[in-house]
Amino acid sequence: MRGFHLRFSGKVRLSLSWRPWLVALLLGAAGLRAQPVAPPGAGAAGAVLLRPAAVFDGQDLHAGWAVLVENGRISAAGPAAQLAVPAGGRTLELPGLTLLPGLIEGHSHLLLHPYNETSWNDQVLLESQALRVARATAHAQRTLLAGFTTARDLGTEGAGFADVGLKQAIDQGIIPGPRLLVATRALVATGSYGPKLSVDEDVPQGAQEADGVDGLIRAVREQIGKGADVVKVYADYRWGPNGTTLPTFSQEELALVVQTARSAGRGVVAHASTPEGMRRAVLAGVETIEHGDEGTLEVFQLMKKRGVALCPTVAAGDATAQYKGWHKGQDPLPPRLQQKHLSMQAALKAGVPLALGGDVGVFAHGENAREMELLVQDYGLTPLQVLRQATSGNAQIFHLADRGSIRPGLLADLVAVAGDPTQTVAAVRQVRLVMKGGVLYKQP
């Protein structure tokens, strides 16, 4: 079967090549789609004056402020008495709520679901791509309704380039979800990733294997050509004796990845946990280090000097420890979490910029706020610090100049929560309003 046609509402006809996962996405999304509160056209074009109790602008809290939204963007923000709704617009009162920029998830995997439901190996090896994409459409909706209007999705983990189609479906209004920055397949050195079964069997891998000058250049360019917004490389992984984490790519190979990506206008992020893997990635010129579990003061000082941010993903380690039987609050900290606490202390001492991202997918989508809560409860950051990280901080680190703050001209990606999240981090879970591009997806 070479192709077929779909007809919607008797007006629009799409011709599609035979791709089962894409068909599942389009046909399944019709039933899954959560309609915006207002029709997209009217919601984006009409002027709306939002009047909360306070506005967090990405840096500071302002009591008594209001925000005017017109044509999908913020047109004014300031003391409520100084703002008026234009003719034909409307006012939305938000008593008791704090309005803030749409939150930005820095490390997610929409094509994964919690490992205590299905192991990572089984997700990669046994779940069809159609099933994974269908599940990801629900994950995208949950992420948006949790107040995260942008997400950096760092690898499909064996689902090929499905994140590109997912991003397109969101951008075209087929399904609701956050604005996505996608990394597609990610890059690993041959033999270093998984799944690993018998040495006699070659099985599909969770990322794209590539090595050497020709192999890495070709793989980076292929991923960018297929739609990658960012290139992700695994600078180290568990491939030593007894699963010891060791560096994978050489210094020269990592530098080549960065050079090739940068020449095409893309940044590189590195999965790295060991001091040596982190050091090589930093010297190569990556923009963020993901995890950094065994980072030392020396390597964090190097990151600070080079302007490389750390995305610590503390929620993922917390979740996997509990999956393995750790009873939080009752049992002593497992060794890996003890090491994580030491590395975070070193990172904070060095003054490394922190990106906010929990590696969601390891735990449930829609629970993205878990990373913010743990950073405050277990690692000593303040609610204001993590709120800045999740908004203006991530926007700066990820080069998103059109969002992350509340000021005229930026995208009207806005969230309202009950209470004051600058004082109580748990308030970010009390989402009452979600607006993306001026369209309301949730309101009181």
pLDDT tens-digit profile of 372-410? 999 999 999 999 999 999 999 999 999 999 999 999 999
pLDDT for position 200:
85
pLDDT for position 37:
54
Residue 129 · residue 99 · CB < 8 Å: no
pLDDT for position 9:
37
Say whether 187 sits in a helix, a strand or coil: strand
pLDDT for position 402:
98
Positions of the chain with pLDDT lower than 50, given as ranges? 1-33, 38-43
- CATH class in words for 103-397: alpha beta
Q: Which of 395, 364, 381, 358 is nearest to 149 (CA)?
A: 395
Amino acid at 424: T
Half-sphere exposure of 203 (CA within 13 A, CB side): 18
The DSSP letter of residue 428 is G
CA 193 – CA 174 distance, rounded (Å): 34
Instruction: Report the CATH number of the 40-102+414-422+431-442 domain.
Output: 2.30.40.10
pLDDT for position 35:
53
pLDDT for position 8:
37
Share of the chain above pLDDT 70, in %: 90
Dump the DSSP string for 289-331: EEE-TT--HHHHHHHHHHT-EEE--HHHHHHHHHHTT--TTTS
pLDDT for position 380:
97
Half-sphere exposure of 287 (CA within 13 A, CB side): 19
pLDDT for position 197:
87
- Beta strand pairing status for 48-56 and 90-101? parallel
End-to-end distance of the chain based on CA atoms, in angstroms? 48
Residue 100 · residue 53 · CB < 8 Å: no
Where along the chain do its domains lie? 3-32, 40-102+414-422+431-442, 103-397
Share of the chain above pLDDT 90, in %: 87
